A = this chain, B = another copy of it.
Amino acid sequence: MAEPGALIAIGGHEDKERDRVILKEVAGRLNGGKLVIATVASHEPEGYFESYQEAFGALGVTNLVELYVEERSQSSDNPALEALDGAAGVFFSGGDQLRISSQIGDTPIERRIRELHEAGAVIAGTSAGASVMSETMLVKGASSESYRIGDLHMAPGLGLIRDLIIDQHFAERGRYGRLLGAVAHNPRLLGVGIDEDTAIVVEGRAFRVIGSGAAYVVDGAETTHSNIAEARAERALSMFNVCMHVLSSGDRFDLDTRKPTAGAHEEGAEARKDRD
């Protein structure tokens, strides 16, 4: 039996012009096969496909097709399903995570994507496309603010990754507050905040970080107090004893033991000088 493919959750704004570290990671898992660019998250998908066509083309990936549905009713139609036939990977572009879940959730398209993944296809998603991989997904909440009671919308995601809630554009949009708030709701979920041009590559029950920024893991398992069920709306969150891990390129995280492992020293590190 085949192993499920990797899941690659990207924090948005992945480099498409220079090193393309993240897109390379996706490309490297296609073995020359077809990549489906799913632009379902976007209300106006024009331009997304072309920009990925160019970026992946430069990496030698030429077999690309677009999957877009204007309306949920199209998610059972043959043309949409045919786009997925024999795909080696699916890449969800950014936009609105609710568009993905409401247009394709519980439709033949979603089932086909899940089957492809189970059979070994890589499933990647950036920004909204990353959020939607969660079992429960973050839909909306204040950026650049501490979490205030009641100020968060969550919804069922595609559930490709269990027990995880993903946020994106993380440091760039100051979303620590809302991820802490999300985890406070139920610390069973591990919070993962992913910076722009940064991704987690999930294989089995572990992930590795790639890209130029950081991925933050918020583990609320040992939290000793929170006011999330007690405080009035608009009041600032209290949450004691949260465990946080800041992971960068090469670091790994085990989702079952909830423990990080440091990556090897990066190449070129030998060029560092001792401080004196």
Contact = CB atoms under 8 A, between A and B. Distances in A.
A246 interface: yes
A214 B232 contact: no
Contacts of A242: 243-246
A71 to B, nearest CB: 34
B269 A230 contact: yes
Interface stretch (A13-21, A33-41, A170-178): A170-178
A227 interface: yes
A231 B263 CA distance: 11
Contacts of A227: 248, 262
Interface string A232-264: 100111111111111111010000000010110
A2 interface: no
A272 B230 contact: yes
A260 B231 CA distance: 18
Contacts of A5: none
A173 B146 CA distance: 11
14 contacts: A144-B144, A144-B172, A144-B174, A146-B213, A171-B174, A174-B176, A214-B236, A225-B262, A235-B248, A236-B248, A238-B246, A238-B263, A239-B245, A241-B245
Interface of A: 144-147, 170-174, 176-177, 180, 195, 198, 212-214, 225, 227, 230-232, 235-249, 251, 260, 262-263, 265-266, 268-269, 271-272
